[in-house]
């Protein structure tokens, strides 16, 4: 049984999220799937779950490869979908964990000795305004500028199907976002 919340969900859609009272204590697992599967790109959905010590729920992740998660996440704090050949194999394993509390609790053991502090800005303005300020105040010569495509190239760093989506978005939404950034007023 899967309950879907958010943009695609009917239980608690993006439009009526303020009316929702989601009790995650009712669930064993949380699907923390990123919309882009790129190297080193770990979704905030994952961090929101593991950084809140009130949650006793295991995130199932899809996005970055498992080695990226291993570098920064507590050991056995998530289930990575790449370890299963099919959704059915994953479902069988999840049912196994639900019926074997000792094995399930191993995924929560790390919470007894680890605290994760998230330092997410509370709003986009809190994140973007300092970045804009640094960009305007920092003198950079042409030679020192970052070549974005050498640092992040979706044709290399992302799964092939995701590249098509990135290229499609790059031509539309990115332009809108950049215009929004240019017109944004900071406090």
Q: Is 8 exposed, middle or buried (0-12, 13-18, 19+ CB in 10 A)?
A: exposed
- Residue range 76-96, pLDDT digits in tens: 999 999 899 888 899 999 999
pLDDT at position 74 is 92
For helices 173-183 and 160-171, angle between their N-to-C axes, nearest 10 degrees: 50
Angle at 105 between CA 100 and CA 106, to 5 degrees: 105
Nearest to 42 by CA among 76, 74, 5, 68: 68
For 78-111, letters b (16+ CB in 10 Å) and e give bbbbeebeeeeebeeebeebeeeeeebeebeebe
pLDDT tier for residue 178 given thresholds of 50, 70 and 90: very low
pLDDT at position 167 is 47
Residues 128/131/133/134 CA torsion (nearest 10 deg): 180
Give the mean pLDDT of 11-22: 61
Query: 153 or 102: which carries more pLDDT confidence?
Result: 102
Q: Which strand (E) or helix (H) includes residue 32?
A: strand 29-33
- Residue range 90-127, pLDDT digits in tens: 999 999 999 999 999 999 999 998 888 766 566 666 66
Return the HEC string of 44-73: HHHHHHHCCCCCCCEEEEECCCHHHHHHHC
Domain 17-112 has CATH 3.40.50.11660: yes
Q: How far is CA 43 from CA 32, 35, 75, 119, 156, in A?
A: 7, 9, 18, 14, 19
pLDDT tier for residue 145 given thresholds of 50, 70 and 90: low
pLDDT at position 153 is 61
pLDDT at position 120 is 59
End-to-end Cα, the chain, rounded Å: 46
Residue 165 pLDDT greater than 80, yes or no? no
Query: 130 or 16: which carries more pLDDT confidence?
Result: 130
**Domain edges within the chain:** 17-112, 124-183
């Amino acid at each position: 049984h899967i309950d879907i919340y958010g943009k695609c969900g009917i239980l608690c859609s993006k439009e009526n999220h303020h009316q929702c009272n989601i009790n995650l204590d009712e669930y064993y697992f949380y699907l923390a799937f990123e919309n882009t599967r790129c190297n080193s790109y770990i979704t905030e959905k994952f961090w929101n779950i593991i950084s809140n010590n009130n949650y006793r729920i295991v995130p199932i992740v899809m996005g970055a490869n498992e080695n990226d998660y291993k570098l920064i996440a507590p050991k056995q704090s998530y289930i990575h979908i790449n370890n299963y050949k099919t959704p059915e194999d994953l479902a069988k394993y999840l049912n196994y964990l639900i019926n074997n509390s000792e094995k399930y609790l191993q995924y929560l053991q790390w919470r007894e000795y680890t605290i994760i502090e998230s330092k997410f800005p509370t709003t986009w303005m809190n994140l973007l305004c300092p970045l804009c300020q640094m960009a305007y105040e920092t003198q950079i010569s042409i030679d020192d500028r970052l070549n974005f495509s050498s640092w992040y190239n979706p044709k290399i760093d992302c799964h092939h199907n995701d590249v098509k989506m990135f290229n499609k978005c790059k031509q539309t939404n990115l332009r809108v976002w950049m215009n929004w950034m240019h017109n944004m007023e900071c406090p």
